[in-house]
Structure 1
């Protein structure tokens, strides 16, 4: 596995190191030891799948608050997404900064999202599926979100959002004075 740290401390792009031959390739998509060597939480307790019918579907920006904060490893298994994370750790030097990474079924690329980040994506193709490995169980009372088009972050989505759930539309705008992660 090839780990590349992003500009956001603790967030990594993970590429499969491919061993190729006439059949195609073989590569490691998960290794607890390699995650530990990079200081990443390898203790996935749940795997989730998201299927999205149409291009332009937004899911996000989601996170869980303490003591149920989670890290996630995201991979697009069919179609393509523009995956976005925001550092919402108040003590971080990259607090309120975001990055976007294109994940496609062809690239096998993954994004590691540390605890204390909001996460969301927009689908770039119809019939897109996303696989999540998470380090904490989904806990309804601990779930939270930030509006995907919040001007506090000015996320540059590559295409127009056509499908957004009522729940995601109703996430509040970020207010630093009221914000609590822990």
Structure 2
């Protein structure tokens, strides 16, 4: 696993090179020893899988407020997605900045998104599946979201948006007085 820093502190892209032969491929999807410097004592306590059928569909942008803020480690197991992390941390030097990367089953990349950052993605290939590793349990009362189309974020979604859940399209736009998430 090669850990690559991004312009947003705490957001990393983990490059994994699969071993391939005539039978197929193999790669290590997670190793707490290799990722210890990123986890900083946090442990993975919940693992989720999502599948999204429609090309152009968007899920997100989601996060959890403290005391249930979570780090997420996200891999694409099938298909391709455009993955986005948004820095919502108050007093961060990259406050409201985004990092975007393609995750796919072929490139085997994993995005690491720290506490205080929102996450979302757009499906680039039908039937894409994501694996999420979380450092906190899902807590509905701590759930937060930002609208994927918020003009303050100016996210460059690569495809025309074809499908967004009612919940995700109802997330608020960032207000003028939004000062960020305090961790």
8 Å contact from structure 1 (residues 87, 96) kept in 2: yes
Alignment length, in residue pairs?
Answer: 182
Instruction: Structure 2: give runs of 5+ residues left out of the alignment.
Output: none
Q: Distance between the aligned counterparts of 1:133 and 1:70, measured in 2?
A: 10
RMSD over aligned Cα, in angstroms?
1.7
Contact 1:41 1:71 in 2 (8 A): no
Give the equivalent residue in structure 2 for 1:154. Answer: 154
Structure 2 contact 63–117 (Cα < 8 Å) conserved: yes
* 1:158–1:40 distance in 2 versus 1, CA, 3 Å: farther
- Equivalence for 2:65: 65
Superposition misfits of 4+ residues, deviation over 6 angstroms: none
SS in 1 for 2:125: coil
Shift, 1:178, TM fit: 4.0
Is the contact between residue 18 and residue 108 of structure 2 (CA under 8 Å) also seen in structure 1? no
Find out whether 1:32 has 2:32 as its counterpart: yes
Q: Which residue of 1 aligns with 2:12?
A: 12
TM-score normalised per structure 2: 0.92
What residue in structure 2 maps to residue 122 of structure 1? 122
TM-score by length of 1: 0.93
Q: CA deviation at 1:25?
A: 4.6
Give matches, 1:162-173, under 5 Å: 162-173=162-173
Distance 1:27 1:90 in 2: 36
SS state at 2:7 partner: coil
